[in-house]
Amino acid sequence: MRHHWIALSLMMGMLAPWAQAQPTDYPSKPIRLVVPFPPGGGADNLARTVAPKAAQLLGQSIFIDNKPGAGGNVGAEIVAHSTPDGYTLLYGTNGTHGTNHALYSKVGFDPFKDFSPVSRLTTIPAMLAVNSSVGVSSVKELVSFIKANPGKVSFASAGNGTTSHMAGMQFKNMTGLDIVHVPYKGGGPALMGVVGGEVQMTIDLMANVYGQVKAGKLKGLAVTTINRVSMVPEVPTLDESGVSGFDMAATDGLYAPPGTPTAIVDKLSKVLKQALLDPQVVESLNAKGAFPSPSTPDELAKHIAKEMPMWVRLVKESGAKVD
């Protein structure tokens, strides 16, 4: 009898890991989605656009937990060291999984080893926008204006190392223009700086800048992707406006802690694809200047590996450092 008990115990021990890797009851409680940025910003708005539909499909609530700080590093580090059970997830960006690793001397996590990629969420083009007082209606006219006023034209960014900083530096590098960088403490203040005429231009994410362009407070001259953006088909790309080869877009994605069971990651990835293709979600994201880009976990991992060197290079070229 004792031998039967030992054999049964051994068999149960071997089955235990298999049972944990097959979470048929997942999710059985609310899921915490850490957004490593303040409430009300572009990242927070996009996360809150997708989360309700994903929650509906999962049959459990997803609550947003804003953990801002250090350009997203604070929240990302929390998730990197959380229990890998699928109940703590990260809304990651090309900051947490790109620029920050050149911008900060210490980030507290490895973007590859410390996360289980789940799915890309959206692609977010940026737009070059100017204050109407500049009096230009095209990139060509803007370039001529800057050449005639070297060192007198400024571009606003949300801060050193942010996407708007990197986009502005890329534009400056590729055109050879003498433009002054003015970093603000956040995307909102930077945008108001351009609207108020403190600075003349910005190249910021459409999720941030498009509302001001649509309202007529700023003039959108070009988008930063290699192809035109469907929501503003009349706006040319920087590439076709004379800045040949300019191609930049921000991406966000969902990440779980390392070691999260494959079955959970795959389930989340499939649910996110359904949520991102829901017509109402698509419409809401498009209105914010973002475009659904669901992917498999492997596709997200490959995308980060491909994009990260570009962001790191731009940070190093800019000389930006935050410690």
**Spatial distance between the Cα atoms of 127 and 171, rounded to a whole number of angstroms:** 12
pLDDT of residue 11: 46
pLDDT of residue 274: 98
pLDDT of residue 210: 86
Q: Are 131 and 143 in contact (CB under 8 A)?
A: no
pLDDT of residue 23: 61
Q: Are 202 and 176 in contact (CB under 8 A)?
A: no
Q: Are 121 and 50 in contact (CB under 8 A)?
A: yes
pLDDT of residue 283: 94
Which of 136, 192, 142, 190 has its CA nearest to residue 162? 190
pLDDT of residue 287: 85
Which of helix, strand or coil describes residue 310?
Answer: helix
- Say whether the peptide bond before residue 261 is cis (omega within 30 degrees of 0): no
pLDDT of residue 40: 82
pLDDT of residue 57: 97
**Spatial distance between the Cα atoms of 272 and 290, rounded to a whole number of angstroms:** 15
Which of helix, strand or coil describes residue 250?
Answer: strand
How does pLDDT run across 164-211, given as a tens digit for each residue?
Answer: 999 999 999 999 999 999 999 888 899 999 999 999 999 998 878 888
State the sign of the Cα–Cα–Cα–Cα dihedral 130, 132, 136, 138.
positive
What pairs with residue 128 in β-bridges?
203, 222
Backbone φ and ψ of 2, nearest 5° = -60, -40
**Spatial distance between the Cα atoms of 311 and 39, rounded to a whole number of angstroms:** 25
Instruction: List C-alpha distances in Å: 280 to 19, 253, 292.
Output: 37, 20, 12
Q: What domains does the chain contain, in order, with CATH numbers?
A: 29-124+250-318 (3.40.190.150), 125-241 (3.40.190.10)
Interior CA angle at 162 toward 309 and 50, to 5°? 90
- Which distant-in-sequence residues (6+ apart) come within 8 Å of 5 by Cβ? none
pLDDT of residue 279: 97
pLDDT of residue 160: 83
If one counts every other C-beta atom within 10 angstroms of the C-beta of residue 21, the result is 11
Is pTM, for the whole model, over 0.85?
no
**Spatial distance between the Cα atoms of 283 and 41, rounded to a whole number of angstroms:** 19
Which of 171, 211, 153, 170 has its CA nearest to residue 187? 211
pLDDT of residue 162: 84
b/e code 112-124 from CB counts within 10 Å (16+ = b): eebbbbbbbbbbb
**Residues belonging to the chain:** 323
Residues of the chain with pLDDT under 70: 1-23, 323
How does pLDDT run across 74-97, given as a tens digit for each residue?
Answer: 999 999 999 999 999 999 999 999
What pairs with residue 127 in β-bridges?
204, 223
pLDDT of residue 9: 44
